[in-house]
Chains A and B, each alone.
Chain A
Amino acid sequence: MIKPKVCILRTDGTNCDEELFYAFEKFGSSPQYVHINELRAKSKKLKAFQILALPGGFAYGDDVASGKILAVELVSFLKDQLQEYIIKKGLIFGVCNGFQVLVRTGLLPFGKLGKMDVTLAQNESGHFECRWVNLKIETSRCVFLDDHKRQVSQLAVNHGEGKFFADTKTIKKIEDENLVVFRYVDEDGKQTQLYPQNPNGSTNAIAGICDPTGRILGLMPHPEKFVDITQHPNWRRKKFDPPHGAFIFEEMIRYAQNS
């Protein structure tokens, strides 16, 4: 079977690209690093890929706001390429900084390039947080994720601006349309506003969302940092098989392969 091609988008300050590359490679796709300047110069084109992945990091230092400068660049220079890619039903996946970029381009939650409807604001703790959290997988419109029946996964968060926020109406719309894919939960699997289980104070504990087509997914936690057993802090205490980040890649790649 042909391996789906994955564009790992890089720019100044991208920094979780290598582990993302590794995860995509490990689960059977064919990732490639692409610098945004190559897309701008059209020496590489988005339409050659089935998955566009935006890694974590600090694109352009997260100056002004996290992911902002890159989002402005994408909307200014790659609007046409992006629209063409979306019409051709390509998948888009943003982790952490990548999620911040998707939100600031407007692609999440409602697929409106250039119009921002939600934000990822500074953590309520006021600073960067690196810790492991429990996540519940919701039944959502995400086309490539199976129904995980509210399974709980443990993944790492590493961010300073991850507080999912929007006005009440928008939040309701997101929830009503089943766009919520991940929520922060406590030990009992219940969504929580308590720190540090909800590490940033996200509204309704929202950690990840998709767009109405279900083909664009963004989340703050890092599934790519838990695709091998030894990446978890407590692999010596507990059996984690399979590693909790694996299913996202397996299912996304399988979907890309079959469509």
Chain B
Amino acid sequence: MIYEVRIASKEKTDPKGQNLLAEIERTLGVKTIKNIRTAKIYRLEGISKSDAKIFTQKVLFEPIDQKMTFNQPIFKGTDHLVEVAYKPGVMNPEAGSLLKSAKDIGIDLLAADSSWEYAFFGKFAKDQLQAIIKRLLVNETVEHVVEKSPKTLLISGHAGKIQTIPIRGLDDRQLMELSQDKLFLNLEEMKVIQNYFAKIDRDPTDCEVEVLAQTWSEHCVHKTFKAKLIIDGKAKKPLIERIKETAKFSQKFIVSAFVDNSGVIDFYNGWAVSGKVETHNSPSAIEPYGGAMTGSGGVFRDILGTGQGAKPIISTDIFCFAPPSLPAKDLPPGCLPPDYLLRKVVAGVRDYGNRVGIPTNNGSIHFHNDFRAKPTVAVGSYGLIPKKQANKRRPKKGDLILTIGGATGRDGIHGATFSSGEMTDRTIEVSGSAVQIGNAIEEKRIIDCVLALRQQNLFRTLTDCGAGGYSSAIGEMGQKIGARVYLEKVPLKYSGLSPWEIFLSESQERMVLAIAPKNLKKVLKICKLYNVQSAILGKFDGSKRIKVTYDDQLVCDLSMQFLHHGLPQRRMVGKTIVKMIPDKPPKQPKDLSAVWLKVMSHGNVCSKEPIVRQYDHNVQGTNALHPLGGVNFDAPNDGAVVRPILNKPYGLVVTHGLNPILNRIDPYWGSIWATCEAVSNFVAIGGDLKNAALIDNFIWPFPDEESLADLDKSVDACCDMAKLLDMPFISGKDSLSSTYRYPDGRVLKIPPVLLISVFGKIPDVKKTTSSDFKKVGSTIVLIGKPDLKNLGGSVYFDVAGGQSSSVPKINLKSQKAVLTSITAGIRSGQILACHDISEGGLAAAMAEMCFGSDCGAEIDLSSIALAKEDHPDFILFSETAGTFLIEVANPIVAKKLFAKVPHVIIGQTIKERSIRVNLGPKNLCNLRLDQLKQAWQKPMKEIFHD
């Protein structure tokens, strides 16, 4: 018997219902719904009726503002009633809390679940209801509409048998059939596997094939980045080698680079900081809420899995979507609409990061039509760890394999292999099980627990269970020594999993630790204190093999040598194809003000405040530069500065940069731009390049010849910038599946994204600056040399209908000196405000500096225009990364600070709340700040109903 309890708000206000109503009106244009009410439904199984009523009174129901029904409908007179629940088998994080609370009050409860009921009041058509359900209410990957109350909440089943795959007898075609949609290996790789088993004279088990496919997946092993390359007929070093070489530049402060779950650099007083940025594009494309959650969860565990466990202290999020206004007809089959993706990804980051208690204090969002088939979702995290525990140790022979955290279910099967493939209209169908809903509190528990274990030095080493689950985690940890695993010991969410599924499952919130047997008792005690489930799965046994059994049946027995070194190095050929874009600059605008307002409303420039406010960017109390500041707390800063050790002044500075549009037009200069933008943001807030490291993320289309040649140029640009600035890359990741194939075979390449993140230390957070102008009568200076000719890929060209294949060229000769001069000015306290110039150009940067202040600005463009053809629109909207607007007290300070670098005094801050732009004696435009701000804030306010 299942009892159903419905709880709804007594008051007329129902924020959840109102938000849905607003969203229906905005996206579907349905205006006939008068009201939407929502109720929570709890289902309780294996409980007596009287206990169910007691449980309801004590735990579920709060009569102050709620009404309740027991086994009865709660809303009367509704026109439609829809209940949305997680599908059976998808873990609902709330269920565990319900069971705990029942136990706490001494009530027997076998199983519990919760869901939401939506009551619609008002007449509307059936197909409109279907549209509401499909587009706004239900993600069919993990949720369903409950038509009939379930008879039981328990999931059971019999474990599947271990299958043998007769690989030795397959021909080429059959090998590829086996690989397709599941293993994502190519024929050469399939043949290597075939030969191995031919040599050892047996066929593999299903698990062995899966373990090999996972270990050899692009996602896990980065075949392209390790491949021998021939680009335009010339042999070139593997991409990863070139990037790793940059780590030689500044070895002094590098603690570890490219060897651990994140890169680590020195901090102060015996501490180190680590950084990692991951992408989670494929899961987010088909289930954005769960995808964003598990993306965040994964990167936090990467930090936690660094050395002997770093504490996550910052979370960052960078997204690329199609514009929310994308017409439905332009959406490729099998893809989700961009505004839905945006809202759900934001909600996922919010609900996960906020609960785990890690401040999300840096990020950005970019829009371009060609992200319509697949978004880019990058999540980063930074951590703090004692330096002496920051280097990874290896397990010793005899160490126990301990798993801690969540139980294992069927979720996330094939995540690693699926993320390595291109997206098609069938992806949602075939790979639906690859995504899941995260449980943030489980993650928080394991973070608390691991940090407590680390403090007492109770484990040898650890790693997180990410892509590939136990297979990947144990396989990697035991790479040199070998591991023996007993799968029947794995705690399961429900019965019915086949052994290979248990080994490969990517259920979230699990870590694997290597423990010396003598510490086991203490470890288990701490796990118990933190309510963390744990189990010993086996040991690192010195066999140099990975041997896995399930109740004495052999599941997997492979040599570590073959598993980790059997994959042949790829040889790949790239060929440059120059993108032909006709040069068509927009006509000189008659009304600069109108264009300026349009630029401010562009997705890549507009305010993201409604998103930032939903993220807890202030938890841990460490912010010394918040994402938003200024008089009304609404002006954006260029990055994050935190003080991770609260009683010390030491700062960790974190920023990033990217520009997919420029990358696509010109992979080399677009990548120079992205790197320059990242370091400019870093310097603009007070970061010190001498004590900073870089992280790369290449989110690229599938590497066909053209995309590979582009990727090669992008890597070259990264290395050139690293060399120019003497900065090392210490961590990175590539995801080469930004390709969508239409049902008819046409291919859509998603714009390539090079995302560069920078993090570094400064001795005192007080020596930093924000972007808001501080005073009336200050001098405004443009630092650096803007490119006034090349505006290809700019926001201005986008809104004014221009195009060009010439993207901004950064003046590399003066760049380092420019950056150094800014650092000196901030350190000496003479730069009162600083903002780097990026999308939207000088115009957008200046507007944002005014938004946070209580003044306006007056500038004269004639000081910048050196040649006749330097038009005012180009000066205002040129997007040259590496140039800055700064505020200083007076021209003398400017001249002193910037004597050795290109700079121009362009004007001063004024009392009037407007921006006046002159060209010599002529006034070009005069814009009120409230107009500019309204244009800038409107787009995201509309989507998030603020």
Contact = CB atoms under 8 A, between A and B. Distances in A.
B721 interface: no
Interface string A212-233: 0000000000101101101101
Given A15-B356, A63-B98, A64-B59, A58 B626 contact: no
Interface string B758-796: 000000011001101010000000000000000000000
Contacts of B11: 165
B72 interface: no
Contact of B647 (A22, A160, A166, A237): A22
A57 B357 contact: yes
Contacts of A56: 619
A248 interface: no
A58 B441 contact: yes
A19 interface: yes
Contacts of B355: 13, 15, 58, 61-62
Contact of B769 (A123, A230, A236): A236
Interface in A1-53: 10, 12-16, 18-19, 22, 25-26, 35, 37-38
A132 to B, nearest CB: 6
B64 A236 contact: no
A102 B113 CA distance: 26
Interface string B1-40: 0000000010101011011000000000000000000000
Interface string B58-77: 11101011000000000000
Nearest to B354: A128
Interface string A70-102: 001100110000000000000000000000000
A72 B646 contact: no
A61 to B, nearest CB: 4
Contacts of B13: 124, 201
B343 to A, nearest CB: 11
Interface stretch (B189-197, B258-266, B276-284, B610-618): B610-618
B683 to A, nearest CB: 17
B621 A16 contact: yes
B619 A16 contact: yes
Contacts of B930: none
A83 B617 CA distance: 37
A13 B444 contact: yes
Interface string A126-138: 1111111000000
B619 A76 contact: no
A118 B62 CA distance: 9
Contacts of A158: 354, 616, 618-619
B350 interface: yes
A61 B441 contact: yes
A116 interface: yes
B356 A26 contact: no
Interface stretch (B99-107, B496-504, B813-821): B99-107
B529 A167 contact: no
Contacts of B60: 64
A128 B643 CA distance: 24
Contacts of A69: 59, 97, 100-101, 104
A167 B441 contact: no
Given A63-B94, A64-B94, A72-B104, A130 B615 contact: yes
Given A116-B62, A119-B62, A123-B15, A237 B774 contact: yes
A60 B441 contact: yes
A66 to B, nearest CB: 11
A129 B16 contact: no
A191 interface: no
Interface stretch (B166-174, B565-573, B627-635, B672-680): B627-635
B621 A224 contact: yes
A234 interface: yes
A126 B441 contact: no
B78 interface: no
Contact of B64 (A18, A118, A233): A118
Nearest to A62: B355
A117 B104 contact: no
Given A13-B355, A61-B93, A61-B97, A126 B15 contact: yes
A252 interface: no
A113 interface: no
A233 B354 contact: no
Contacts of B626: 233
Contacts of B531: 12, 37
Contacts of B613: 129-131
B354 to A, nearest CB: 6
Interface in B347-391: 350, 354-357
Contacts of B428: none
A37 B528 CA distance: 9
A37 B529 contact: yes
Interface in B120-138: none
Contacts of A125: 15, 946
A104 B60 CA distance: 12
B624 interface: yes
Contact of A18 (B440, B612, B620): B620
A104 B9 CA distance: 17
26 contacts: A12-B531, A13-B445, A15-B355, A15-B444, A16-B357, A18-B620, A18-B621, A22-B646, A35-B529, A37-B528, A64-B59, A64-B94, A73-B104, A76-B105, A126-B18, A128-B354, A130-B615, A158-B616, A224-B621, A225-B618, A230-B624, A230-B766, A231-B624, A233-B623, A236-B769, A237-B631
A-B pairs with the 6 shortest C-beta distances?
Answer: A15-B357, A126-B15, A19-B621, A63-B97, A233-B626, A233-B629
Given A68-B59, A118-B64, A231-B623, 4 more contacts: A14-B357, A64-B101, A127-B350, A236-B769
